[in-house]
Amino acid sequence: MAKVTNNLITQQMSWHANMTELNHLGKALIAKPHVFEGKMNTLFTSKMYSSNSLSSILFGKGYEKTIDKTEWEWQLKGANQRPLVVVGSNPNSVDAGKYKTPFKIALDENWYVAGDIITPGTANKKYQCRIQEEPFRQGTGQGTRWIYTVRLMSDNPDLSLPDVYLKPGVQWAKLYSQYEEGGQQSGSTQFSLPISLRNRMSRFRKKYEVTGDAATEVLAVGIPDSEGKIHKSWIKYAEVEYWQQWYRELERGAWYSRKTSSVDGASGRPIYTGPGVQEQLEGSNLHYYSHLTAKLIEEYLMDIFYSRVKPGKARKIKAFTGEYGMLIFARAMQDLMEKRGWTIANSNFSPIKPTSSDVNDNAYSVGYQFVKYIMHNGAELELVHNPLYDDRQINFEIDSVTGYPVESMRFTFLDFSGDNAKSNIMLVNKKDGMKLNYVVGMQTPYGPANKTFSAHSGDYYEMHVAKQCGVHIEDVSKCGELILKRNQA
């Protein structure tokens, strides 16, 4: 087995009798899960297996929560106001509102009242209309509409409302409410009800077997606890590989898991699984591109931030992408520089640096790479390499132009900012949902089984681990994806 290198490994040695059960990592996880489980997450996601980009960020910043159930609900509050929509046919003749006469508008709700000033949202707000009477209902069921009697806010007798603003689907919004002296009426107030959302966890399991003839080399790993104390624990090489694959699979689940409850397991019970990041973002801001440019990125992010986050430093987002995605991003930034005539003239910067070479004693290197984009209105985009998008073991769809996996050119934009210092994205674990046990035969994790009970007669032991967890995205409208899609001839 290849040697494992890590700054938490304190020494390497062969197994011997003086290493007690309580010093073994697996035993420690069973005996003291509150001490070791969190550190195991950090150790194997960010240290021993660096391909877990999402888990490394969330574990590293403590963006986790533990709950008692496998499902959770939350409420997402929308905007307090939304426009009403014209429904049905136009109840007026042509030149509606001409000669300062009242006319009617058929809208989908009765949210507005007499005195509200409404507009079809033209750039110059020329066609403002005042509601003159309380709306009345027309039709039933899905055919219900509300008839508003309005008048143009103008003294020009020749002004009329163009018929295009009375066609089905046109939106009308309230600006404010205006009344006469001594009036008794008042304007309407709209309230939005929060949207209730639900998500759930998936159950992951994995095992490995070690025979009596397997290699007995072990590692001494120093794991710090929450108080900064170092706990030295013994871990076999085979177990290192096991944990690396385990956390790699959890990372894959965090990104790719699909929600289902109709697939049955061997016991006949349904397998309840929760959605990963990509499925949750299918209802967010998705855009398909064939050529990446700085303008595309900026305008795409404007769609996410516009009218939701005010211009300024709060507009920060991370883009998870593959290696080829990082390459075309750097090229897009370089094209931006060249088109705008920018040059890097900072005295502290030099793309040319001395380097060592067997070819020439006076060798130099040249180059630089863009990994962040600071845009207009305070928006900042930071690239994060997601090795899963480059993994050829799971990505078989190859781009015909580059010859690399299409997934390597996917950009997943995640906004981690949230309310009250909480992250918009979190890992959710079930309380006591991490389970681990050994099934021993003639071999145990601590040596041969002599004069003791065994679960089977084989010359090996098994380790099984199970975990119930999921990914929580509070507001998917803060996130989105740019997905490569070549134009077909």
Residue 460: the pLDDT is: 86
Please indicate, yes or no, if residue 101 is contained in any of the structural domains: yes
Residue 91: the pLDDT is: 85
Residue 133: the pLDDT is: 92
- Residue 213 is encoded by which pair of tokens? 């003839």
Maximum CA extent, the chain: 106
Please indicate, yes or no, if residue 158 is contained in any of the structural domains: yes
Whether residue 390 is predicted with pLDDT greater than 90 in this model: the reply is: yes
* Domain count across the chain: 1
Taking only the tens place, the pLDDT of each residue in 195-232 is 778 889 999 998 888 776 665 677 777 776 667 777 77
- For the chain, give the mean pLDDT: 83
CA separation (Å) from 167 to 32, 88, 106, 236?
Answer: 68, 8, 10, 73
The residue count of the chain comes to 489
Burial class (CB in 10 A: 0-12, 13-18, 19+), 239: buried
Most confident of 4-8, 31-35, 358-362: 358-362
Residue 423 or residue 404, greater confidence: 404
Q: Nearest-CA neighbor of 481 among 276, 337, 330?
A: 276
DSSP type of residue 29: H
Domain range for residue 132? Answer: 84-177
- Residue 5 is encoded by which pair of tokens? 């290198």
- Residue 150 is encoded by which pair of tokens? 């309005």
Please indicate, yes or no, if residue 146 is contained in any of the structural domains: yes
- Residue 7 is encoded by which pair of tokens? 């700054």
Please indicate, yes or no, if residue 474 is contained in any of the structural domains: no
Please indicate, yes or no, if residue 107 is contained in any of the structural domains: yes
Please indicate, yes or no, if residue 114 is contained in any of the structural domains: yes
User: At residue 281, what is the residue type?
Assistant: L
Please indicate, yes or no, if residue 93 is contained in any of the structural domains: yes
Whether residue 301 is predicted with pLDDT greater than 70 in this model: the reply is: yes
Taking only the tens place, the pLDDT of each residue in 108-139 is 888 899 999 999 988 888 899 999 999 999 88
Residue 161: the pLDDT is: 93
Please indicate, yes or no, if residue 202 is contained in any of the structural domains: no
Q: Using an 8 Å Cβ cutoff, are 413 and 289 in contact?
A: no
Least confident of 47-51, 314-318, 341-345, 465-469: 47-51
Least confident of 7-16, 94-103, 170-179: 7-16
